[in-house]
Amino acid sequence: MSEHLFDYASWPDADAAPGYSGGRGATLFIEHEGDQWVLRHYHRGGQIGQLLKDGFLFMGGGRTRPMREYDLLDCIYKLGLPSPQPVAARYVRRGLYYTADLITRLLPEVTPLSIRLAEGPLEASVWMQVGECVGQFHAASIYHADLTAHNLQISDANKIYLLDFDRGRRMAGSGSWQDSNLSRLKRSFLKISEGNSICFNEVCWSELMKGYRRVLGGN
């Protein structure tokens, strides 16, 4: 794939967002030969991000973050799970460090679940679909490093997707990582519901877990 496709300067008229899922760094929504894509540049977070911003220690091409995320997304896509299809990834080495970009196919007419919740409460059946979505990934042993209400996306038809698999990986099987994932997700819902601007409570979580257990089994 041509290098210019990863250059933000090549897309002066593209719509931008402060992160496809509310994360760090600008994300561009671009069109190329009739295809709708999402171009994301990798940024660091936390205190180290204030120093390096978008630089990552190079430890081999196969261990770079975009290549690992691309491979995981390709696996997810082949499994038929609800997530964006990867298009291309690249890293640019600069001495000991590298910068990185990833292009995925745009999911049509989706909204972050956090934004949909701000518009009004979800029906119980939709909460169950959220749980079923998470359950599908856990059943396939897919670990998401940042499972939050921002990275869960909902379509106009209430179909649920999961995106942003940076630092995600395929696990050997079930384990405590699943409970940790769920705990992180619940904390995310609790955080965005502070101040009562978003409706989230134990009833919502109970319905989500019903959907989750429907996929994973158990009571």
Domain count along the chain? 2
> Is pLDDT of 25 > 90?
no
Active site residue 35: no
> Is pLDDT of 1 > 70?
no
Residues 55 and 144 in one domain: no
> Is pLDDT of 193 > 90?
yes
Task: Give the domain extent around 181.
Answer: 110-216
Q: Of 105, 128, 156, which closes a domain?
A: 105
Residues 131 and 117 in one domain: yes
* pLDDT, averaged across the chain: 90
The model's pLDDT over 43-91, given as tens digits with 9 standing for 90+, comes to: 886 545 445 689 999 999 999 999 999 999 999 999 999 999 999 999 9
Residues 87 and 157 in one domain: no
Residues 7 and 46 in one domain: yes
For every residue of 111-156, DSSP letters joined together read EEHHHHHHHSPPPHHHHHHHHHHHHHHHHTTEE-TT--TTTEEEET
Residues 20 and 92 in one domain: yes
The arithmetic mean of pLDDT across residues 16-38, rounded, is 73
* Proportion of the chain above pLDDT 90, given as a percent: 77
The model's pLDDT over 113-164, given as tens digits with 9 standing for 90+, comes to: 999 999 999 999 999 999 999 999 999 999 999 999 999 999 999 999 999 9
- Catalytic pick among 101, 146, 164, 166: 146
The arithmetic mean of pLDDT across residues 6-27, rounded, is 70
Q: Of 105, 138, 173, which closes a domain?
A: 105
Residues 57 and 149 in one domain: no
Q: Of 56, 78, 105, which closes a domain?
A: 105
Residues 127 and 46 in one domain: no
The arithmetic mean of pLDDT across residues 176-198, rounded, is 93
Residues 116 and 97 in one domain: no
Name, in order, each residue with C-beta under 8 angstroms of 194's C-beta and a sequence gap of 6 or more: none
CATH number at residue 79: 3.30.200
Give pLDDT, residue 180: 97
Give pLDDT, residue 176: 96
Residues 84 and 118 in one domain: no
Residues 145 and 206 in one domain: yes
What is the Cα–Cα distance from 33 to 53, expressed in whole angstroms?
Answer: 32
For every residue of the chain, DSSP letters joined together read --GGGG-GGG-TT-EEESSTTS-SS-EEEEEETTEEEEEEE----HHHHHHHTT-EE-S-GGGSHHHHHHHHHHHHHHTT-SSPPEEEEEEEEETTEEEEEEEEEPPTTEEEHHHHHHHSPPPHHHHHHHHHHHHHHHHTTEE-TT--TTTEEEETT--EEE---TT-EE-SSSSHHHHHHHHHHHHHHHHHTGGGSS---HHHHHHHHHHHHHHH---
CATH number at residue 167: 1.10.510.10
Give pLDDT, residue 51: 57
Residues 98 and 119 in one domain: no
> Is pLDDT of 23 > 50?
no
Residues 51 and 96 in one domain: yes
Give pLDDT, residue 166: 94
